[in-house]
Amino acid sequence: MTITHAPAPTNTARITAIDLAVSTVRDLNQALHATDDGTSWVVDTPAGQHNIAVGIDRDLDLVVNGHVGYYFAGMHQKGRVTVHGSAGVGLAENIMSGTVHVTGDASQAAAATGQGGLVVVDGNTGARCGISMKGVDIVVGGDIGHASAFMAQAGRLVVCGDAGEGLGDSIYEARIYVKGTVASLGADCIEKPLRPEHLAELAELLALAGRTDDPAEFRRYGSARTLYHFAAVNAAAY
């Protein structure tokens, strides 16, 4: 599998600075929707406000200094976004492509339903990290909470710390890599062998996230595919 994530920022020719103590989130978002490819943006004083930088579909670079609230970079489509701080619920939910990087922690449902792109959280995430993920790649430097990768359909979730209860419950075709401990696996999620191709993709993902962890120290988890067809005997798992 080849990795198609965008390269690191290069263009710093035009930097627009926005202070959310002065401008509204709505003004910022509309400016980001209307701007050109190749622009650079710095946002200060986000103060945990919700819905910052949602719906970006320009190939731009954006840096936020401070904490952001719910749905930061929701439905992100293009460009590279970095938060120097922590993020609230639904970080980069339904991300399509591009990169979203949070240097602190992220709350619940990080990268939920993400269809593509890369989400990197240097710290920990809350519950439901990668819930219903559909192709996104997620790299978490620390731990993830319970019910993560619930019904995960496609994409890869890399956890350098520990995973909470019910990891990968009802998982479809997504692949999960965990370096630390897994409190428990959810229904139909099993440990699988780490073959050379997995080590290779893991090495690539770790490198993209700027991490130096050793791929050989991870374990791989995925679907046993026993719940793919309804069967009364599985009633307890449904």
Which parts of this chain interact with another protein (CB under 8 A)? 25-26, 29-30, 33, 50-51, 54-55, 57, 69-71, 74-75, 77, 89-90, 93-94, 96, 108-109, 112-113, 115, 128, 131-132, 134-135, 150-151, 153-154, 170, 172-173, 228-232, 238
Nearest approach in angstroms of CB 74 to another protein is 5
Cβ closer to another protein: 69 or 164? 69
Give the chain's end-to-end CA distance (angstroms, integer): 32
Nearest approach in angstroms of CB 80 to another protein is 17
Nearest approach in angstroms of CB 211 to another protein is 26
Nearest approach in angstroms of CB 102 to another protein is 16
d(CA 228, CA 211): 35
d(CA 29, CA 195): 43
For 5-18, b/e burial (b = at least 16 CB within 10 A) is: bbeeeeeeeeeeeb
Cβ closer to another protein: 101 or 134? 134
Burial zone of 36 (CB within 10 Å; 0-12 exposed, 13-18 middle, 19+ buried): exposed
Cβ closer to another protein: 168 or 215? 168
The alpha carbon dihedral of 224, 192, 208, 67 has a sign of: positive
